[in-house]
Amino acid sequence: SQQGEEDPQALSIQEGENATMNCSYKTSINNLQWYRQNSGRGLVHLILIRSNEREKHSGRLRVTLDTSKKSSSLLITASRAADTASYFCATENNAGNMLTFGGGTRLMVKP
Amino acid sequence: ETGVTQSPTHLIKTRGQQVTLRCSSQSGHNTVSWYQQALGQGPQFIFQYYREEENGRGNFPPRFSGLQFPNYSSELNVNALELDDSALYLCASSPTGGAIETQYFGPGTRLLVL
């Protein structure tokens, strides 16, 4: 079973627009991570936000975490065609020995 | 490139057979995790190994087993293959001594069970 649920499941935008993806989870966590996957290949780690953090930035990425609502969002600003991929949130349990992924958001950025 | 390699890249087996998948961790990483990713879904955590011991396990039956070697390379073994075992199998290594934190994924092994 997957703890995280991403919303939307699919998103299509024009180059230059912003893309926002949301993630909800069910149990307490140590941290929440976002990953990117191109065409069924290996995942690439994008950003990690700890349970005591509320917002984090990395380049064009902005992640927020609301532990009271058990939700997170990933914002990609000024999107590019190369951002086309599937994006997954993943929650690490408190013991730090298990990572649970959501079902992913498939993002398409049209040039 | 993450420095994590997996072999083979593709594999076809028949139901009931056994399979061994291999993973070579990034240099200096002593923690490895394995995931199963069915088509169109997110990865599901199978188990984690730290210092050659299983350190966490997801909801997978015992016919999924693993090994981690002193050089931190790893194997995933699946016995009595079922059609639903067809998936992309990913391994990921991390340097954080038993905690997952930031992981570095390999390209995966795509297994097809007929």
Interatomic CA distance for residues B10 and A77, integer angstroms: 36
For residue range B13-24, list pLDDT tens digits in order: 999 999 999 999
Cα separation values, A48 from A55, A96, B22, B61, B63, Å: 10, 13, 27, 30, 32
The pair of three-digit structure tokens given for residue A48, joined into one six-digit string: 């990690």
Q: Does B82 have pLDDT greater than 90? A: yes
Band the pLDDT of B51: cuts 50, 70, 90.
confident
CB contact under 8 A, A98 and B56: yes
Summarize pLDDT for A33-58 with one digit per residue, the tens: 999 999 868 899 999 999 999 999 99
For residue B84, what is the DSSP state? G
Which amino acid does the sequence have at A98?
Answer: M
Q: Return the pLDDT at A39.
A: 83
pLDDT range class, residue B99, cuts 50, 70, 90: low
Share of chain B above pLDDT 70, in %: 94
Q: Which of B85, B54, B70, B74 is nearest to A98 (CA)?
A: B54
User: Cα(B73)–Cα(B23) distance, rounded to whole angstroms?
Assistant: 6
Task: Say whether B44 and A2 touch across the interface (CB within 8 A).
Answer: yes
Q: What is the mean pLDDT of residues A75-87?
A: 97
pLDDT band at A30 (very low <50, low <70, confident <90, very high): confident
Least confident range of A45-54, A95-104, B36-45: A95-104
pLDDT recorded at residue A4:
65
Longest dimension (CA), chain A: 43
Residue A109, min C-alpha distance to chain B (Å):
19
Q: Would you tell me how many other CB atoms lie within 10 Å of the CB of residue B61?
A: 10
The tokens describing A55, both together, are: 């917002």
| Residues of chain B contacting A102 with CB distance shorter than 8 Å | 42
Residue A77 has pLDDT above 60, yes or no: yes
Buried b (16+ CB within 10 A) or exposed e, B79-104: eebeeebbbbbbbbbbbeebbbbebb
Give SS3 for B85.
helix
The pLDDT value recorded for residue B97 is 65
| Residue of B2, B92, B102 lying closest to A48 (CB–CB) | B102
pLDDT at residue A1, rounded to an integer: 44
